Amino acid sequence: MEIIIQPTPEEASRLAARLVAHALREKPDCVLGMATGGTPVKLYEELVRLHVEEDLDFSRATAFNLDEYVGLPGDHPCSYRYFMEEHLYRHVNISPERVHIPNGMAEDIPAECEMYEAAIRTAGGIDMQILGIGSDGHIGFNEPTSSLASRTRIKTLTDKTRRDNARTFGSVKDVPKHVLTMGVGTIMDSRQVVLLAFGSQKANAIARTVEGPISAMMPASILQTHRVAKIFMDEEAAGLLERKAYYKWVFEGKPDWQKF
């Protein structure tokens, strides 16, 4: 794991965006895994800026989103499809036919999940997966006790996640109970993982993810076994890390060519 601690979410997001841009420039037909939530919004803003001001080209890229609420159509303002269109897809030149988001309205949910896995395989696998983290350590919507080998499937949200996510819905009772999500195993298959975490409400999950034991109770902790996992955070999210000074020292001492 590479731990990158920056003073603010803005600075961390800018660095993460540089990494995504680098991947896209190296491999224009890059397959990107996308995340939703408040955390990646600044990263997407920066990618849009790079597209507009520096010609960052998405025309050959493919995108797969992590998850979607069951029962919400794509034009529902709380759906993750709507979120992605608003924050990224409609502002860059990605082809709509290469944008994939699980269909929360599918009648046959197991078939939809299998199709999603097959589409990722057909695209050649995910090159770079962007992730946020839930305050309980979930990635995608893989709640605590999710199988660490799981694939795309339906999950039931915990009350905590429904309360955390209620801010976009207005009220907890309107937050769907079920979601479709890539599994932990699906996420682990991606060639590179870029996780972002900001704010003190993520500090406990980050400390347990980076320095705790690997456990299905903290799904993100499996990233300790990923070959290329970069964890970007601000000072607040880094607040409970025991070896914080060491991670900073390592990052500051990197030769420029390694700093993406």
89, with CB counted inside 10 A (0-12, 13-18, 19+), is buried
Residue linked to tokens 């590479």 = 2
Q: Which stretch binds ligand GLP (CB under 6 A): 35-43, 44-52, 182-190, 244-252?
A: 35-43
Look at strands 192-197 and 229-234 and give their pairing.
parallel
Q: How far is the CB of 134 from ligand GLP (least distance, A)?
A: 5
**Catalytic residue positions?**
67, 136, 138, 143
CA-derived radius of gyration, the chain? 17
Q: How far is the CB of 61 from ligand GLP (least distance, A)?
A: 20
* Contact flag: residue 33 with ligand GLP (CB under 6 A): no
Contact between 150 and 184 (Cβ < 8 Å):
yes
Q: How far is the CB of 79 from ligand GLP (least distance, A)?
A: 12
Give ∠ CA 108-111-115 in degrees, rounded to 5.
135
Contact between 6 and 43 (Cβ < 8 Å):
no
For residue 108, the tally of other CB atoms under 10 A from its CB is 9
* Contact flag: residue 35 with ligand GLP (CB under 6 A): yes
Q: Which stretch binds ligand GLP (CB under 6 A): 57-65, 134-142, 148-156, 234-242?
A: 134-142
Q: What does the DSSP 8-state code read for residue 51?
A: H
* Contact flag: residue 133 with ligand GLP (CB under 6 A): yes
* Contact flag: residue 38 with ligand GLP (CB under 6 A): yes
Binding mask 211-230 for ligand GLP (x = CB under 6 A): --------------------
The residues binding ligand GLP (CB under 6 A) are 35-39, 66-67, 132-134, 140-141, 161, 165
